[in-house]
Structures are given as structure tokens and as C-alpha cells.
């Protein structure tokens, strides 16, 4: 997805998308992370979960589109395809303003604990946007551990992107084991209603790509009661 626009196309009255390199997309994330780090009080980590989602709870903190652009970058997806196969779904990403929070998360064995994918499979892409010549690292879900993650200072930003193969089904039932555990251990994060993006290939498991793309209709206090 290209959201930047260049000069109008001659004779067409429109605009052409700007082609961005992977490095330029990571630079855009770096700028956002720097701005968020300067905020006081610091944003809650739950609001930085699903930050690529323009309809998510992080939309009030930062522009989601640069994150979504990065998640859909073809060079990034090539790495994910090598780990998972040709059919890929983006279902989550999370910005950690301090890498130590994610390193602790992984050390506690929590990566994959809340993934509502059946059968459970996926890949995690880890990006340290504040490092010079940053290179994204991709790991199959069963290979993610603190020892394998690229070296990063504890106070550096870390962007984590989660993909699943489109041969797995994303379970939206709140009573499903992964969603139930997530509700108990991180109640401000609801994966069951997350939107999904089919970023490469075809859906092979009948996934729901509608839920999550319509923000809830506001309800105003003091309004007339239905009869």
C-alpha cells in the first residue's frame, strides 16, 4: 500500500503513488517512535498494540498508515514467505518504545500465548528503527526467544509485526482458549475483533476479513431512550 503521492500524472488529472524503499519506511517509523517517546505521560503499551490499524485504539496517538505501509512492504513479505509459505495474513503489530518491554515479554514465554490461530503457526518480524542500517529480522513463531533476537539496547524502540499463514483460521470466539487467556492476562487488548489483512496469496481457511474495519457507532449519554 502506497499512501504518499507524487506529482499529477500528465493528461490524467490524478496522482501517482510514491515508491518508497524499505529504509525510507523504517525512517518514518523512527520519527513516530521519537515523537511518542517524548510524550508525558508515556503512552500505555496497550495503546501501541495494533498501531498499524487506522481504526484501532492507537489511531489517536500516531498515524497508522506508515506502519501499515511497512507491514505490507514486498521485501519484508519475502522474508515472511520464506518462513510461512505463499499465503500470508497480517493480524497484529506492536510498537515498544523501550525494547526491554518486549524482551521481557519473550523471556516470559508469552509470544504466541495469545495468538488465536488454529492451527497455531506464524512468524514475527522484529525491527529496531533507531539503529543505523536497520535490518528486519524474521522468525518463525516457534523460534522466537530472547537469545535469538537481534541485539538491541533496552531503551531503544522496537517494532514487532505478527503474521500468520492463510492456511490457519483466525478464531474470533472470545471463549476460545487463546482469547480467554488474553482477556485474563491483558484485558485492555482484544485480539478477537482485530481486522485482518491478506497481504500475499489467497485465504485458504475461511477467515473473516470484515470484522474490525468499522468503528463502533458512538452512543451519547443523556440521549432519548428507545421506546
Q: What is the pLDDT of residues 64-107, one digit of tens each?
A: 999 999 999 999 999 999 999 999 999 999 999 999 999 999 99
pLDDT exceeds cutoff 60 at 6: no
Residue 9 pLDDT > 60? no
Residue 78 or 57, more confident? 78
Question: Is residue 225 a part of any domain in this protein?
Answer: no
| Overall number of domains in the chain | 1
Contact 119, 108 (CB under 8 A): no
Would 209 be classed as within a structural domain?
A: no
pTM of the model: 0.87
pLDDT at 14 over 60: no
In a domain, 100, yes or no: yes
User: Would 36 be classed as within a structural domain?
Assistant: yes
Report if residue 129 sits inside a domain: yes
Asked whether residue 8 carries a pLDDT value surpassing 60, the answer given is no
List the grid coordinates of 74. 514486498
Whether 3 is covered by a domain: the verdict is no
Q: For the ranges 3-12, 119-128, 167-176, 215-224, which has the lowest average pLDDT?
A: 3-12
How far apart, in whole angstroms, are the C-alpha atoms of residue 214 and residue 67? Answer: 19
Among 134, 148, 137, 101, smallest CA distance to 29 is for 134
- In angstroms, the CA 217 to CA 215 distance is 7
pLDDT tens column, 134-189: 899 999 999 998 878 888 999 999 999 999 999 999 999 999 999 999 999 999 99
C-alpha closest to that of 49 among 39, 41, 36, 59: 59
With respect to residue 60, please indicate whether it lies within any of the assigned structural domains: yes
Which band of pLDDT confidence, cut at 50, 70 and 90, is reported for residue 58? confident
Q: Which residue has the cell 530472547?
A: 146
SS3 217: coil
What does the alpha-carbon distance between residue 179 and residue 60 come to, in Å, rounded to a whole number? 25
Q: For 208-224, what is each residue's pLDDT tens digit?
A: 999 998 665 555 555 55
**Domain extent at residue 180:** 18-200
* Chain centroid, CA 145 distance in Å: 19
In a domain, 101, yes or no: yes
Amino acid at each position: 500500500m502506497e499512501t504518499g503521492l507524487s506529482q499529477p500524472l500528465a493528461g490524467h488529472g490524478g496522482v501517482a503513488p510514491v515508491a518508497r524503499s524499505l529504509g525510507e519506511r523504517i525512517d518514518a517509523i523512527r520519527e513516530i517512535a521519537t515523537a511518542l517517546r517524548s510524550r508525558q505521560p508515556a503512552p500505555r503499551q496497550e495503546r501501541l498494540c495494533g498501531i498499524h490499524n487506522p481504526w484501532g485504539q492507537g489511531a489517536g496517538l500516531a498515524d497508522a498508515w506508515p506502519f501499515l505501509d511497512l507491514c505490507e512492504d514486498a521485501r519484508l513479505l519475502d522474508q515472511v514467505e520464506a518462513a510461512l509459505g505463499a499465503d500470508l495474513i497480517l493480524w497484529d503489530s506492536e510498537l515498544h518504545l523501550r525494547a526491554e518491554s518486549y524482551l521481557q515479554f519473550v523471556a516470559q514465554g508469552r509470544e504466541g500465548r495469545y495468538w488465536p490461530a488454529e492451527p497455531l503457526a506464524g512468524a514475527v518480524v522484529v525491527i529496531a528503527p533507531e539503529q543505523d542500517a536497520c535490518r528486519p529480522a524474521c522468525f518463525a513463531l516457534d523460534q522466537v526467544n530472547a537469545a535469538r533476537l537481534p541485539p538491541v539496547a533496552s531503551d531503544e524502540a522496537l517494532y514487532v509485526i505478527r503474521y500468520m499463514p492463510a492456511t490457519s483460521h483466525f478464531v474470533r470466539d472470545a471463549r476460545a482458549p487463546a482469547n480467554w487467556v488474553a482477556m485474563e492476562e491483558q484485558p485492555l487488548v482484544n485480539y478477537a475483533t482485530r481486522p485482518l489483512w491478506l497481504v500475499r496469496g489467497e485465504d485458504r481457511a475461511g477467515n473473516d476479513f470484515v470484522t474490525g474495519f468499522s468503528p463502533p457507532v458512538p452512543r451519547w449519554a443523556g440521549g432519548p431512550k428507545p421506546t
